Structure 1
Amino acid sequence: MKEPEDWEAAYMEMQEEIAKHGKVFPPELNLMGHAAELDRSDDDVLPELPFKLAPRVTKADRLNDRTTLNRALAERLFLLIRGPVTRGRWDLPMAVLEGGGKGGDMKGLSMRNTHEATVRRFMGEKFEAYVPSNAPVGVHWRVPSEPSTGKTGGEQAYGDKVFFYRAQHLKGRGKVVGEGVEEFVWVTREEMGEYLPQASVEEKEYAELLTNIL
């Protein structure tokens, strides 16, 4: 049998070590380099850092100030507003798109463009957000007790079809500057239930929908 070349012998020796020890190699081989550092706990590593980590509990958390993004840093926050624009109820920021983009207050825009314009309307031009999808993350059909006539006149309309989009904050303050807003809060998914009305069956279903799709 032909003698293996040096690289072949080294390879076969390595395969034998792998078969013998599995993923745990003898320390004398030093195959993992500084992998032992990965086994160190946070309590061991933190004192050696050249900087001091800021606390995750902020002043806003201690004061229960929900009008700032600088709170609940370990959670995802959602914006709720209240005022004439939401008929005095807590709800997500919304805009009207009627007739497939031919009417309403966002005339001629696609649904995604309407969403982006709504973010600018309520948050201002300096607020930067990332929209991860062209498609909505959910839809809700609001059915009123009485039919109403649309702005274009003619046929009566029963309710509204509400499409939900997600925008992720990238840069800018979390202060709402849009008209028709008297109050706003940045809340976690669990805290949303404290604000959304749930007096009727429809309101409860709507609140449950938001907590599931957001």
Structure 2
Amino acid sequence: MQRRCTTPLMKSLRRFSSNSSTDKLVASVLFERLPIVVPKIDPVVYAFQEFSFRWKQQYRREYPDEFYKKYEARGKGDYKIDYKPASRITEADKTNDKRSLERALDRRLYLLLHGTTYGSPDGKPVWHFPEKVYENEETLRKCAESALQSVLGDLSNTYFVGNAPMGHMNVQPTEKADPLKRFFFKSQVIAAKNYNISGCDDFVWVTKDELLEYFPEQAEFLKQMIIS
């Protein structure tokens, strides 16, 4: 006779997956662009490196003058290389174009959409992440992929980090909306400078600090969940 597992953990999992629950499950996607250039060194770290270099100079090995003459003569020829590093400040930075991925190159950027979504107060457009209510997808990860695909149209230049959500939030019920559980999945921009974003009134690419300003009520939760 086959026995069923009746541990507290399995009971809680069955209750979570039961269709009798009134909580809606929503898969949200934290779609990020990683830094393109190396972030600037913190002034404290720079000061320490400068001190360390000067300290080591006191004990550096002394070489004869002949060595330096040979070193300076290396690589000399008729050729000349003109190298000018690209500016860290782009045109999108100067104009504060938040619809462009070519801004804040030393920071992570996150995609936010403006439009109606599940749980919007009175059905009004709000800023939100790409998201979708879980229906009959095989997994919540598949639901998250569907949410991002509905915005981008194609997932070729994206990469989902892991199969499990990076965090979740319980949203309390209101007079016009049922309670819901919002699960966040991370996806990243891969080899793309622009996306044809649709299905929304507007969109922005924002840094973590800017993102928190869009969600003042959930700022503390997002601040802990998003590591950048």
TM-score, structure 2 normalization? 0.57
Deviation of 1:108 (Å): 2.4
The aligned residue for residue 80 of structure 1 is 112
Q: CA deviation at 1:135?
A: 1.1
Matched, 1:169 2:206: no
Contact between 1:60 and 1:68, CA under 8 Å: does it hold in 2? yes
Q: What is residue 101 of structure 2 aligned with on the other side?
A: 69
Q: Which of 207, 210, 213 matches 1:188? A: 207
1:68-147 matched pairs, under 5 angstroms: 68-85=100-117, 87-97=124-134, 103=135, 107-125=136-154, 128-146=157-175
Q: Give the 3-state SS of the residue equivalent to 2:190 in structure 1.
A: strand
**Secondary structure at 1:140 match in 2:** strand
Question: Do the aligned partners of residues 51 and 118 (structure 1) sit closer, same or farther apart at CA in structure 2, a change above 3 Å counting?
Answer: farther
Q: How many pairs were matched up? A: 147
Contact 2:161–2:187 (CA under 8 A) maintained in structure 1 = yes
Question: Does the 8 Å CA contact 2:170/2:181 hold for their aligned counterparts?
Answer: yes
Gaps of 5+ in 1: 1-23, 29-47, 98-102, 149-157, 199-203
> Residue 178 of structure 1: SS of its match in structure 2?
coil
Equivalent position SS for 1:190: helix
Higher Cα Rg, which structure: 1
Question: CA 1:143–1:172 in 2, change beyond 3 Å: closer, same or farther?
Answer: same
Write out per-residue CA displacement over residues 63-107 of structure 1, whole angstroms, 9 at most, x where no aligned residue: 00000110000100011111123641111111110xxxxx3xxx3
Identity rate, percent: 31
What does residue range 140-159 of structure 1 map to in structure 2 within 5 Å? 140-146=169-175, 158-159=178-179
Q: Which has the higher contact order (CA 8 A, sep 6+)?
A: 2
Instruction: Give the letter for the 1:183 counterpart.
Output: D
1:116-152 Cα offsets, whole Å, 9 max, x none, are 222221122165111121111110000123386xxxx
Q: Deviations over 1:13-42 (max 9, x none)?
A: xxxxxxxxxxx89677xxxxxxxxxxxxxx
Q: Is the 8 A contact 2:137 2:143 kept in 1?
A: no
Separation (CA, whole Å) in 2 of partners of 1:108 and 1:171: 28
Unaligned runs of 5+ in 2: 1-58, 64-79
The TM-score normalised by the length of structure 1 is 0.60
Taking a change above 3 Å as real, the CA distance of residues 187 and 127 of structure 1, as seen in their structure-2 partners, is farther
Other structure's SS at 1:114 match: helix
Q: Would you say the 8 A contact 2:102–2:193 is kept in 1?
A: no
RMSD, matched Cα: 2.6
3-state SS of 1:90 partner: strand
Distance 2:197 2:113 in 1: 11
Q: State how far apart, in whole Å, the 2-side matches of 1:126 and 1:172 are.
A: 11
Instruction: Describe the shift of the 1:77–1:127 C-alpha distance in structure 2 as closer, same or farther (beyond 3 A).
Output: farther
Contact 1:129 1:170 in 2 (8 A): yes
Q: Distance in 2 between matches of 1:161 and 1:120?
A: 21
**Given the superposition, is the C-alpha separation of residues 71 and 144 from structure 1 closer, same or farther in structure 2, using an over 3 Å criterion?**
same
